[in-house]
Structure 1
């Protein structure tokens, strides 16, 4: 059953900072919350539902968790959802917010993301105590599985099975840079060429430095509201129509490294929305690495398995040039990757496109249907995938 018209995204805000030397994580959450609330034309007192994940301060503190931030923000809640699924959490939260609103649990839902790994010089692949406690740690740790290694294996396998080239992967970065040049907040605003990507240092075969996303601070927030609230505001009506979520794990070693959770989450979202990949006018795709985008394009059905390289080559993802505009804000490859979790910004840019508020140089004309997709965890390993389809009424 479609989600259409059951709730609307009425507020969206992305923090402009990329290095928060003067802000705490709690302050960043407050900044984005107030920004999204103002964008919606509402007040803090209107919020009665809050959705957050493990990026909030005090997440693992005993007896506090999200309660500390709820108090810091001064929220008076009827509903709280702290579902953690890493980078896919915030896309997943939109679907949860729609369901909560439809069930009468809340009327105005706030979703926030914030972090400052750049200011804190935190390593995205560092092993924390929680990871060391997992059941698989004693068996996998001796082989040193870090983020870059996992994605390098996916890229290498795709090349082996389908003849994909480093040049084709580089086109994904090139497309992101063409979009980022129009974003004044982008960490990497300069246009790059395929040669620039290939000449950047090799990080893990076959991925180069420019195949990897940026590390940045900042965050973002969304407001999802009941239809009665949404229609009372002077904002475009952006409604989720389909959502899907799936967990992909290693299944004791019997798994396809090129099939992410997006195979199932995408199929579920498209079926619920009643549309096809060919109907999508704009896509926000998680881009922790260039290979992440290529795998998602295939898994979500935008092209057949093995044809992702051809799909992205020669500007295939550049707005106004290619077949499918992707990540028109510059994405994680060039714009930002706040808290090492890119799902939130994927929804925000999709909302911008549907509102007609993207930069004129990258705005998709008369954009009515968009997709946002996120990965929490690692391709090549266990992860969660969330897919969201949005429509402008």
Structure 2
């Protein structure tokens, strides 16, 4: 294959901050803690960083990359705080690759921090009066974001016969993976019946169909590929990438059962020169059980309307034949408002063989983030070796 901008970069380091309930931490402290750990993982220091890409979940945080750079003492030559919601970080990897390829910088630090749980600030959307979701959805009592995803789930059930039991398979599988992750807060058993009998949040989504609400942060270091030989750990290569957004408010979603993954999945796979069947691991945003199920369809792992059957009978759980969300996902590991950075962290660890009891054989991984009310999507294809 011919060279493209993705061939010139690698992911050199990844890390999370503390995650959970963290009233003793500020948002900036979580950015900094994750950044320090990721740079240590990469064998680098702040002096190596000349690109900063940051976002947080607090509505009061303005100019996130500027604030993070100031806090860390970095004067970057490239900066980005584009907000695509939870998939911002997958998009940032692509943005970092473009900037490095263009010669704007050599090493990018992607960071995230959120005290959503402790501060009670949340990132649900619909609170600002100028938003369409406030004017035309919240006005009538639609609970955001759960209500938006509940509408999609209801439509999917109506069109394709998807059942609550099939959605519950996603939550149960996530919990089983979390039980293999010592950092996950939820290790208690969870059954299909537990999911079905849990309190309803927004029909048809119950308590366990919804992600956790936590504090936490993460960081990713992207650098020039020619530095790979000097890194303390094997680099992870960017094979493919794509991003898009189709709407902001759920009322303007072109089709309630077709997510932006239907655009970014095929585009990222094409740019990498691979197919869904080539993937050893799928890290797929699971803010809600329906998010993961519809994304699986749109990414090409199964046909539209076949997601329920695809995830059934423990297929995506440990021991199943489709490895997905191996650290427990947003449903059972952590979800501080935006989850996409944690998908990248786990994919890198799996590719490097550092996942411990949850390790699966992984040479190629697909990472897909979702943002907003099924509004935005970004997909990465990550590889153990350089793109052939």
For the aligned pair, the TM-score class normalised by the smaller chain equals over 0.9
Cα gap change, 1:253 to 1:26, in 2 (>3 Å): closer
Q: Summarize the alignment of residues 99-118 of structure 1 with structure 2, pairs less than 5 Å apart.
A: 99-118=98-117
* Paired position in structure 2 for 1:225: 223
Which secondary structure does the structure 2 equivalent of 1:314 belong to? Answer: coil
Once residues 177 and 252 of structure 1 are traced to their aligned partners in structure 2, the CA distance between those partners, rounded to angstroms, is 32
* Paired position in structure 2 for 1:337: 335
Please, which of 347, 357, 365 is the counterpart of residue 344 of structure 2? 347
Shift of 1:189: 1.8
Shift of 1:135: 5.2
Structure 2 residue 177 is matched with structure 1 residue 179: yes
Q: Summarize the alignment of residues 135-174 of structure 1 with structure 2, pairs less than 5 Å apart.
A: 137-145=134-142, 146-174=144-172
Please, which of 376, 382, 385 is the counterpart of residue 390 of structure 1? 382
* Paired position in structure 1 for 2:44: 42
Once residues 46 and 294 of structure 1 are traced to their aligned partners in structure 2, the CA distance between those partners, rounded to angstroms, is 40
Please, which of 357, 371, 380 is the counterpart of residue 376 of structure 1? 371
Cα gap change, 1:97 to 1:254, in 2 (>3 Å): closer
* Paired position in structure 1 for 2:324: 326
Shift of 1:213: 0.4
Cα gap change, 1:184 to 1:16, in 2 (>3 Å): farther
Q: Which range is displaced more, 208-217 or 229-238?
A: 229-238
Once residues 32 and 69 of structure 1 are traced to their aligned partners in structure 2, the CA distance between those partners, rounded to angstroms, is 12
* Paired position in structure 1 for 2:9: 7
Once residues 226 and 5 of structure 1 are traced to their aligned partners in structure 2, the CA distance between those partners, rounded to angstroms, is 9
Once residues 225 and 102 of structure 2 are traced to their aligned partners in structure 1, the CA distance between those partners, rounded to angstroms, is 13
Aligned residues: 381
Query: What root-mean-square deviation, in Å, do the aligned CA atoms of Structure 1 and Structure 2 show?
Result: 1.9
CA contact (8 A) 2:127 2:134 kept: no
Q: TM-score, normalised by structure 2?
A: 0.93
CA contact (8 A) 1:54 1:84 kept: no
Please, which of 353, 356, 360 is the counterpart of residue 364 of structure 1? 360
* Paired position in structure 1 for 2:200: 202
Structure 2 residue 309 is matched with structure 1 residue 310: yes
Segments of 5+ residues of structure 1 without an aligned counterpart are none
Cα gap change, 1:356 to 1:174, in 2 (>3 Å): same
Once residues 298 and 108 of structure 2 are traced to their aligned partners in structure 1, the CA distance between those partners, rounded to angstroms, is 30
Once residues 211 and 169 of structure 1 are traced to their aligned partners in structure 2, the CA distance between those partners, rounded to angstroms, is 7
- Deviation per CA, 1:238-291: give whole Å up to 9, x if none: 111111111122798582110011100111101100000111110110001101
After superposing on structure 2, the runs of 4+ consecutive aligned residues of structure 1 that deviate more than 6 Å are none
Which secondary structure does the structure 1 equivalent of 2:118 belong to? Answer: coil
* Paired position in structure 1 for 2:86: 87
Once residues 386 and 152 of structure 1 are traced to their aligned partners in structure 2, the CA distance between those partners, rounded to angstroms, is 22
- Deviation per CA, 1:328-348: give whole Å up to 9, x if none: 00000000012x101000111
Shift of 1:125: 2.8
Shift of 1:124: 4.2
* Paired position in structure 1 for 2:235: 237
Shift of 1:89: 0.5
Q: Summarize the alignment of residues 127-142 of structure 1 with structure 2, pairs less than 5 Å apart.
A: 127-129=126-128, 132-134=129-131, 137-142=134-139
CA contact (8 A) 2:325 2:343 kept: yes
Shift of 1:15: 1.7
Shift of 1:11: 0.3
Once residues 59 and 124 of structure 2 are traced to their aligned partners in structure 1, the CA distance between those partners, rounded to angstroms, is 19
* Paired position in structure 2 for 1:274: 273
CA contact (8 A) 2:241 2:379 kept: yes
CA contact (8 A) 1:32 1:219 kept: yes
